[in-house]
Amino acid sequence: MGSDKLHLNIRRFREQNGFSQSSMADELGIGRTTYVNFETGKTRLYCKTLEKLARYFGVTEEEILSGGNDEDLLKESARSAEEQRQAIIAEYEGRLAAMSEKLESARELVKVHERTIRTLTETNAFLISQLHKND
């Protein structure tokens, strides 16, 4: 896992628990600036600090590293999949509507051409009948 995600996870856990950066720094026995640097990725997180963070948040170190428990990850994944599904449905509904409009336009054009053909056929029949009158 990238360190950016780790640092975002630390911030997310802090915010979810309603803690300030100052209170976190006090709990860990470090300066606020050092703690902020953990969240922003400017300072590497050492095992003892990770252990203290996990204890303070009431989660495992693995949860901090992975971003949450498996249930949260599954919910997030399901939510993301549903959003993608809805986006695909919306896209295909849009395509279907556009194709339906094109089909309707084509049907109208066919009707126009059928009328033209009928008119030309009738005109040809009339002209042929006029030619045969002279025979």
Cα(17)–Cα(7) distance, rounded to whole angstroms? Answer: 16
Q: What is the pLDDT of residue 46?
A: 64
Question: Can you give the residue ranges of every domain in the chain?
Answer: 3-68
Q: Which residue has the higher pLDDT, 55 or 101?
A: 101
Q: Is the dihedral of CA 52, 55, 57, 62 positive or negative?
A: positive
Instruction: Report whether 13 contacts 53 (CB < 8 A).
Output: yes
For residue 117, give both structure tokens: 């053909």
CATH architecture of 3-68: Orthogonal Bundle (1.10)
Among 25-29, 40-44, 65-69, 80-84, which stretch is predicted with the lowest mean pLDDT?
65-69
Q: Is 62 exposed, middle or buried (0-12, 13-18, 19+ CB in 10 A)?
A: exposed
Q: How confident is the model at residue 1 (pLDDT cuts 50, 70, 90)?
A: very low
Tell me the C-alpha to C-alpha distance, in Å, between residue 15 and each of 22, 113, 115: 12, 68, 71
